[in-house]
Amino acid sequence: MAFITVNGKSFPSPDVGLNFEVATLVNGGKNANGEFVGQKVGRDQYKIDSLQWFYLDAATWSDILKEFRKFVVIVKFPDMVNNTWITLSMYPGNRTAKPMDSNGPGGLPSYYKECKVNIIDCGVL
C-alpha cells in the first residue's frame, strides 16, 4: 500500500523531513487571570508538513505537481491519532525544487533535487 495517495495516485515514499501535524482550533483565549476560556471549534485539522524527496526525475516530479492542478485534492495518509488511514480534502502549500542539469528534452532539467510540498487540511470531510 502507498504511504500517501493524492487523487488515488500513489506518491513515492518521502526521503526525509516528513511531519504530521494535528491542530485543534478554539474560539477563545485566556482571561485576565491567565486561565483558558473557550471551546474546541469543529474537528482537528491535519497538515502533512515537509513532504520531501532528495531526488526525483523530472517526469515523476511533474506527475506529482500535476495532481495539484485542481488545487483541492483528496489525500489518503496515515492518521497518527487513530492509528488508521484517513482520507481528507486538502490543498498544497508552496512546491519547491532545485532543477539539476539540462540534459532533458529541449534542454529542460532531467531531474530535481530537494523536492518539497506541504499538504494542508481544507477543514471539510
- The answer to whether residues 32 and 65 touch, using CB atoms and an 8 Å cutoff, is no
Average pLDDT over residues 111-120: 96
SS3 of 25-52: the string is CECCEECCCCCEECCECCCCEEEEEEEE
Residues 116, 95: Cα–Cα separation, whole Å: 6
pLDDT, one tens digit per residue, over 34-79 is 888 888 898 999 999 989 999 999 999 999 999 999 999 999 999 9
pTM: 0.86
Domain ranges of the chain: 5-121
Which burial class, exposed, middle or buried, applies to 109 when counting CB atoms under 10 A from its CB (0-12, 13-18, 19+)? middle
Q: Is a pLDDT exceeding 80 seen at residue 105?
A: no
